[in-house]
Structure 1
Amino acid sequence: MDKRLEVIDALRGFALLGIIIVNVRFFNEAFAVISLGGLPAEGRVNTTIEVLISIFFEGKFILLFSFLFGLGTWFIYIGASREGASFASRYFKRIAFLWIIGIFHGTFIWYGDILSIYAMVGLILLCLVKRSSSVIFTFAIISTLLIPVILLVFDGSGYSNELTIETDTLISYQEDSAAAYRDGTFSEQQLQRLNDYIGSLLTMVLFVPQILGMFLLGLYVGKRQQGIFTNKKTMKKLAVFGMGLGLPIQVINVIYDHQLLQSVAHFIAAPILMFGYVGCFCLLYRVFPIRGLVAVGRMGFTNYLMQSLLLATLFYGFSLFGEMVTWQTFVISLTVFIVQFLYSSVYMSRFRTGPLESVWRSVYKR
């Protein structure tokens, strides 16, 4: 396997690890509760884990996943060109299939689906893939900075977040969701899931420009700089820049409760830190390649959906919703990922692509 492609697949597997560590909370707490900051952690262990997840995981790995989606779009474009096929036709069918699966995922399995968002935002790449690298890069920067600039303009003076929600109110929201997800019938679960799915989609509107920015940066790297992933010097610079600038801002954001700082941490420092992760990961992979992550990454579509299916089974099917504390959900997320690591390694030792990837490929290459 091409070393460049191998490390990209491994990065996708790494992204899925970070995604499940963040997403597991949404299977245990009400969407309304998390939207308002979440239930307070009890005990030093739970508090420490929540702080570490906030600093190192939240909002970083979904950006990495988005970046790799844009990079993958360029590979599809190149493949279509080499085969003399229509990229537009292939890409549109690929996106349409992704949207259908995403809607099904969000409606019937877990309301926090990102695939339908990817499909809708991904259509923009169809208009830009043939543009020059400089144009793509310019649009990427504009899109990435759009929301933080707007927030800085409206909140330029900065102020502490004065919105406080009583714990009793959060508990009430949690109990309402538990009545459906943990104790309710399938139809009651379904009604709650659909309501949460609509709320999740509306919330994600704020993050669409950032997702598009990551798509476009991935497309740019694919078009101009594919070799950077195996370039030791470049990865060192990226690691130092990303970790050196992004990480301190994330730490400061956790220490100080300041709305303006939160905006900077979420929309500026998070992508910077994400690229720091890319640099560190690629450097580590040179000396310690974890082949299992390659298998997980090559089955990225399958594994993303399997994470939701497995967690939904545990928290909704076996009524664990609201019953777990932070350290327990963290252990569950790691356990599920280890299971994925193992079955992906076995499956990819026998087949070239994952099961859903094979179906997806047959659809857009038809």
Structure 2
Amino acid sequence: MILPTQEKERIISIDVMRGFALLGIFVVNMLFFHGPYIYVNPYDWYQTPSDQETYKWIDIFVQGSVYPLFAMLFGYGLAMQFMKSEAKGTSFSRLAVRRLLILLGIGCIHAFLIWSGDILITYALAGLCLIVLMKLKPLWLIIIAAVLYLIPNGLLTGLVYLMTKVAPEESVLYTAIQKVEESAVAYSQGSWFDVFGQRLADWFYMQGYGLNVVLILCTILPLLMIGSAAAKLRLIERARELKLFWIITVIVTMAAGTAIKWLPFNKGDDLFTMTVQDTFGGPLQAIAYGGFLALICTIPIVGKLLSPIAKAGRMSMTIYLMQSILATTIFYGYGFGLYGKVDIATGTWMAIGIYVIQIIFAEIWFTKFKQGPVELLWRKLTYSKI
């Protein structure tokens, strides 16, 4: 049997990365929680200087840059479980499949009954694909990940660029006014059943009506593979030994990623600059963020100072689901009905405030328990008799 990771085996820098990624994900998701973010052109939708400036910095440094980090950490964790099972001579695949299928079930509950912006379904499906490739050497994982990511996304980006030249009117980002109005009515005034219908419509819209399979295979799976390769090379555990490697990596990826993320503001916002920004700029920044946190966590005092964030990272699924439950209760009609009534700056500070409360909750929880509540349930379901 594959045993769950014990506290003494944990690597604090990985939990710190998860903790910071959870905050970033919440800040971005908050745009969707309190407004019709998925249906608007964000570059001209926000009118006040405060909203425009706040969105600009979220777009450049957070949006598209934290979920890749979380995905790579997910792959890192799976590879660590695989290596532990190999060292003990136990079977990995059977229990890993069960674990991921349970995650898929939790994701479905989250997506259809709580909030449509769920990422757990995608991670579970990509994780099931990764299991097949887990025995590959790190170099092959990196090569296959690069091919899977760069060729399809490069071709797509090239086609979008050609479209901006041949038919520039087709590359303009539009706001779907009717969908904005429908979501505003459903979320701010509707009953739970009205919200459920809108949530379902939002989910199908974001999945591209089936095109999400491409996202899983060409975007999320390669990120998981990169994380798995990094785990097999022990790049985070050896951060002190690999200090020069990480310093160079952080500088190069941060500079390149940030330059790409600025494109919609420097070259004009259209489908091409937005595609390049999210597809290439975000993952580069994610690597920089992960490398920076790995480096500073080698300093003993920093590790102690960031311990509260690490505790939030230890119960990442609990924190993630709790954020959705709290935010939908605050903004949806069956709760406090504040949907559409909060500006971006206020929403961002609300996200930070809720996250601080979650950190306090995690501190208190871990004085009594070794895992978060959802993690305990996940573990119980996984390790019960098959």
TM-score between the two structures when normalised by the length of structure 1: 0.92
Higher mean C-alpha displacement, 178-187 vs 73-82: 73-82
Report the counterpart of residue 267 of structure 1 in structure 2. Answer: 279
- Supply the distance in 1 between the matched residues of 2:38 and 2:254 (Cα, whole angstroms): 32
User: What amino acid is the match of 1:8?
Assistant: I
Which residue of the other structure, out of 253, 276, 280, is the alignment partner of 1:242? 253
Superposed CA offset, 1:97-125 (max 9, x none): 00000001000000011101111111111
Distance in 2 of aligned mates of 1:24 and 1:57: 12
Query: Residue 373 of structure 2: which of 350, 355, 358 is its match?
Result: 355
Deviation at 1:159, TM superposition (A): 2.6
Write the mapping of 1:30-45 to structure 2, written as runs, cut at 5 A.
Answer: 30=36, 32-34=38-40, 36-37=41-42, 40-45=45-50
Which stretch shows the higher mean deviation, 76-85 or 211-220?
76-85
Q: Does the aligned pair in 2 maintain the 1:105–1:111 contact within 8 Å?
A: yes
Match of 1:295 in 2: 311
The alignment-based identity, stated in percent, is: 27
2-side partners of 1:166 and 1:200: how far apart?
A: 16
Task: Say whether residues 1:220 and 2:229 are aligned partners.
Answer: yes
Partner of 1:207: 215
Amino acid in structure 1 at the alignment position of 2:169: E
Q: Is the Cα–Cα contact under 8 Å of residues 110 and 308 in structure 1 kept in the other structure? A: yes
Partner of 2:339: 321
Q: Which residue of 1 aligns with 2:180?
A: 174
CA RMSD of aligned residues (A): 2.2
Equivalent positions of 1:1-366 (< 5 A) are 5-30=11-36, 32-34=38-40, 36-37=41-42, 40-157=45-162, 159=164, 162-163=169-170, 164=172, 170=177, 172-202=178-208, 204-205=212-213, 207-208=215-216, 209-226=218-235, 227-230=237-240, 231-257=242-268, 258-287=270-299, 288-289=302-303, 290-316=306-332, 317-366=335-384
Deviates most, 247-256 or 88-97: 247-256
Asked if 2 retains the 8 angstrom alpha-carbon contact of 1:148 and 1:264, the reply is: no
Q: Residues 181 and 156 from structure 1, CA distance in 2 versus in 1: closer, same or farther, beyond 3 angstroms?
A: closer
Counterparts of 1:235 and 1:118, CA distance in 2 = 26
Residues 16-69 of structure 1: CA deviation (Å, up to 9, x unaligned): 0110000011112226524x5476223222111100000000111000000000
Judged with a 3 Å threshold, the aligned counterparts in structure 2 of structure 1 residues 99 and 17 are, in CA distance, closer, same or farther, namely: same
Distance 1:187 1:156 in 2: 41
Please tell me whether the aligned partners of residues 318 and 372 of structure 2 are also in contact (alpha carbons under 8 angstroms): yes
CA distance in 1, matches of 2:214, 2:49: 33
Counterpart secondary structure, 1:162: helix
340-349 vs 209-218, greater mean Cα deviation? 340-349
Q: Amino acid of the residue matched to residue 73 of structure 2?
A: L
TM-aligned CA distance change 1:19 to 1:282, over 3 Å: same
Structure 1 counterpart of 2:30, one-letter code: V
Query: Any runs of at least 4 consecutive aligned residues in structure 1 with deviations exceeding 6 A, and if so which?
Result: 1-4
SS of alignment partner, residue 72 of structure 1 = helix
AA aligned opposite 2:226: L
Q: Distance in 2 between matches of 1:181 and 1:38?
A: 23
Distance 1:111 1:138, change over 3 A: same
Normalising by structure 2, report the TM-score. 0.87
Q: Kindly state the Cα deviation for residue 2 of structure 1 after the two structures are TM-superposed.
A: 6.4
Q: How far apart are 1:181 and its partner, in Å?
A: 1.1
Shift of 1:212: 0.9
